Amino acid sequence: MVIGHHFDLSAAGRSRIAAIIFAAKVNGQVAAGDIAGAQDSSKKAKMFSFIAIGIGVAVLVDLRHHRAGPGVGLAHDERRSLNPGANSHPSNDRVGPGV
């Protein structure tokens, strides 16, 4: 679903922006002597980075799943059961040596 993917990508973008903002605060806070604040900003930057990465990976896996279509990765017999009429030609059911 296209709308869902756009939402997911924008959520990842917001997380990346938040991570950059918190990371940019760290050096200023250290220079001002606010070590506790710098550590807090660093932890938040790390958290938002992992959130963005997680959303990005989830979107890629979802897109790959949708592009692959049904039956990808299934055994031959399982694919046939998804579309029973597709392989009904008698030559597809040969049994014997050399087949």
pLDDT greater than 50 at residue 46? yes
> Minimal CA–CA distance to 17: which of 49, 64, 41, 56?
49
* Tokens found for residue 1: 């679903």
Q: What is the pTM of this model?
A: 0.56
Which tokens go with 87? 């392989």
CA angle 20, 44, 23 (to 5 degrees): 30
pLDDT of 1 higher than 90: no
Task: Report the mean per-residue pLDDT for the chain.
Answer: 75
pLDDT score recorded for residue 12 = 81
pLDDT at 55: 87
For position 69, what pLDDT does the model report? 59
pLDDT of residue 90: 55
How far CA 51 is from CA of 18, 25, 32, 46, 58, in Å, comes to 10, 19, 29, 9, 10
26 pLDDT tier (thresholds 50, 70, 90): very high
Interval 18-46 mean pLDDT: 96
